[in-house]
Structure 1
Amino acid sequence: MRIISGKYKGRRFSPPADKWPTRPTTDYAKEGLFNVLNNWFYFEDQRFLDLFGGTGSHDYEFLSRGCTDVTYVDKHGPAVKFVERTIAALGEEEHIKIFRMDVFQFIKRPVRQPYTYIFAGPPYPLPNIPEIPDLVFAAGLLAPGGLFVLETNPHHDFADDPRCVEKRNYGKTIFWFFEHPKGEEE
């Protein structure tokens, strides 16, 4: 796993993930996603929420690009410990909040300030992937004008969801882009 761009560009990390229930986004797919995001917004201005954070790959990219408000959520203890060690090695502890908890329990918590960008990379076998966009929007997690990206495999289709504004394929990895319309409340 490598950091693609920013102040930590080129740094490599090797999570001991052989028996983890995580599936890190491939470097190819992650690079494609971040090329799109580079044209979407300024990283420094984002409040980023990483659901099913796994190895923390997306968090490191945001921190590397200047984001100072990152929230990571994952329930797998070894993954959380790996992210804590990696964040400490980068010296970025003050810019990230790490929650070791079930994502669906996190979503139910009251939202103090909505996030401007949310990424969810759930395990592909998770049965309730189709419900995730509705849960995120209903919980008020996404700020008006914000962007939510959901990573899936080809077994899911959100093209008919009116909030879905774009779809990007990178091999068997698909990113669905959902926008929260400015000025509208869910």
Structure 2
Amino acid sequence: MRIISGLYKGRRITAPKKLPVRPTTDMAKEALFNILNNQYYFDDISVLDLFSGTGNISYEFASRGTEQITAVDDNYGCIKFINETAEAFDMSISTIKSDVFKFLEKSKQKHTVIFADPPYDFNVEAFSKIPELVFKNDLLNEEGLLIVEHSKHTDLSHLEHFSHSKSYGGNMFSFFETN
């Protein structure tokens, strides 16, 4: 994986093969950040990266100037890799080793962008718990956005707060906003 833009543009990051991850493709990530670039000044926002895996999305935000980034994953190896990479690049990424659903139940901190990249084999009920908990616990700022990455074979358009979706190859991003 590589960082698309910003201070660390072009840097390649190689995650250990043993991590149970499926990083967002560079093509999909570039398209997503083109959308976000038109909505936000990256140095003015706070980001919550759920199911953060390798930290791919967190690094991209950090490279573009975001300083308030929290990455949550339940895998110790993933958290360790994110911490090591963030330290090597001098990025301010806070990590939390936790089950994402338990974290969302307890969290009270609001964010501008919440990005969730759960396993693609989640069923629709598991996917639906993400926006349900985010909105029930009021975790988005007023102009905030929840983005859930999933397979193009999963349809989340029936969920409350759904705004729209974008497809890039086999990847799909569903966007959720406060009404």
Does TM, scored on the shorter chain, surpass 0.5?
A: yes
Residue 162 of structure 2: which of 144, 161, 164 is its match? 164
What is the CA–CA distance in structure 2 between the aligned matches of 1:141 and 1:22, rounded to whole Å? 25
Deviation at 1:109, TM superposition (A): 1.1
Residue 96 of structure 2: which of 93, 96, 99 is its match? 99
What is the CA–CA distance in structure 1 between the aligned matches of 2:98 and 2:176, rounded to whole Å? 24
TM-score when normalising by structure 1: 0.90
Q: Which moved more, 1:158-167 or 1:70-79?
A: 158-167
Provide the secondary structure at the position in 1 that maps to 2:61.
helix
Count of aligned pairs:
177
- On the 8 A contact 2:49/2:115 being kept in 1, the answer is yes
What is the CA–CA distance in structure 2 between the aligned matches of 1:125 and 1:159, rounded to whole Å? 18
TM-score when normalising by structure 2: 0.94
Query: Counterparts of 1:20-59 in structure 2 under 5 Å?
Result: 20-59=19-58
Unaligned stretches of 5+ residues in structure 2: none
What is the CA–CA distance in structure 2 between the aligned matches of 1:37 and 1:110, rounded to whole Å? 24
- On the 8 A contact 2:49/2:114 being kept in 1, the answer is yes
Q: Which residue of 2 aligns with 1:125?
A: 121
Deviation at 1:156, TM superposition (A): 1.9
Unaligned stretches of 5+ residues in structure 1: 182-186
Matched residue type, 1:121: D
What is the CA–CA distance in structure 2 between the aligned matches of 1:44 and 1:55, rounded to whole Å? 22
1:94-129 superposed Cα distances (whole Å, 9 cap, x missing partner): x22110111011111140x31111000001112311
Deviation at 1:133, TM superposition (A): 1.1
What is the CA–CA distance in structure 2 between the aligned matches of 1:10 and 1:36, rounded to whole Å? 20
- On the 8 A contact 1:21/1:123 being kept in 2, the answer is no
- On the 8 A contact 1:43/1:67 being kept in 2, the answer is yes
Q: Which residue of 2 aligns with 1:4?
A: 4
Deviation at 1:165, TM superposition (A): 1.8
1:41-99 superposed Cα distances (whole Å, 9 cap, x missing partner): 1111111000000000111111111111000000111111111110010112xx22110
Alpha-carbon RMSD across the aligned residues, in angstroms, is: 1.3
- On the 8 A contact 2:128/2:159 being kept in 1, the answer is no
Structure 1 segments, 4+ long, off by >6 Å, are none
What is the CA–CA distance in structure 1 between the aligned matches of 2:18 and 2:33, rounded to whole Å? 27
What is the CA–CA distance in structure 1 between the aligned matches of 2:174 and 2:36, rounded to whole Å? 12
What fraction of aligned residue pairs are identical, expressed as a percent? 46
Query: Counterparts of 1:76-87 in structure 2 under 5 Å?
Result: 76-87=75-86
Matched residue type, 1:169: S
Deviation at 1:130, TM superposition (A): 2.5
Deviation at 1:179, TM superposition (A): 1.1
Provide the secondary structure at the position in 2 that maps to 1:73.
strand
What is the CA–CA distance in structure 2 between the aligned matches of 1:63 and 1:32, rounded to whole Å? 17
